[in-house]
Structure 1
Amino acid sequence: MMYCVLCVMCYVLCVLCDVYVWCMFCVFCVACVAFLFFLCFSFWSAFLLVTGVFSYFLSFLSRIFFFFSFLDTLLLVWVFGMQYLGGFFFLWRWNWLGYGTGTETETESGMDAWIPDTPICLQGTTRRLLHIPLDTTMH
């Protein structure tokens, strides 16, 4: 009997305080309270309690899933944003080097020669990473 009283108190505390921390004990509390209502009052009271608890639990789940969907949305925005920036940089370099424009002429290095003067930001290591030859003249 003492366990049932503790269950009721715990359940009422969870509902009144709007606490969204549901453990197995709370699930057992819900089952115990529903059983007590069923025995003490009527089937209708038990039905109302169970449906109310179920809807409350669904609300709790929806809040959890909303939070995780919010995190998923941020992750997707980050991933697709990085892909967009990476694709933009790739296309920018592709167009900048003149691929597919019909203006390609081979240099001694075997790369396309239709390259404007290399900006300062692409000097040195960055220029080598992008495989931009030092010879940027048209042949």
Structure 2
Amino acid sequence: MKNVRRMGAIGLGLALVIGSGTLRLEAQEPKPSEVSNSTPARRANDPSRRVPRYFDQIGLTPGQRESIYKICATHQQQIDALEKQIAEIRAQMLSECEALLADTQKQFLEQRRHAAVRARREAEPAKPSHESTKVSN
């Protein structure tokens, strides 16, 4: 009976670890690229430079739009800070869950993670190299 409970707990723990690992990857954002222009450039998908859903369909004046951008920028800073906290908490949770695993389970988990990374890399479309675009004489 104890073994059944233990195996159930291990299975649940593995499911939690695998599930939280995929959530952590989604929460990561790429670093913004640096632009050499002297004027501050906005990212193309900057959430603070968007109006809330359906607002663009009600005839906002340019002044209203700019005011909304300022409000969104203020709140976006809070949202970014909270998302960073969430990512840190998820990483801590994952670390604590991994600490409960036996060595063989940790090895199996690492193998699964590496296999998932390889599968994602293989699923990405191949980028053409510079060599293949050159014309030979």
Same fold, TM exceeding 0.5?
Answer: no
Flag the structure with more relative contact order, 1 or 2, with Cα contacts below 8 A and sequence separation at least 6. 2
Specify the structure having the higher radius of gyration (Cα).
1
TM-score normalised to the size of structure 1?
0.30
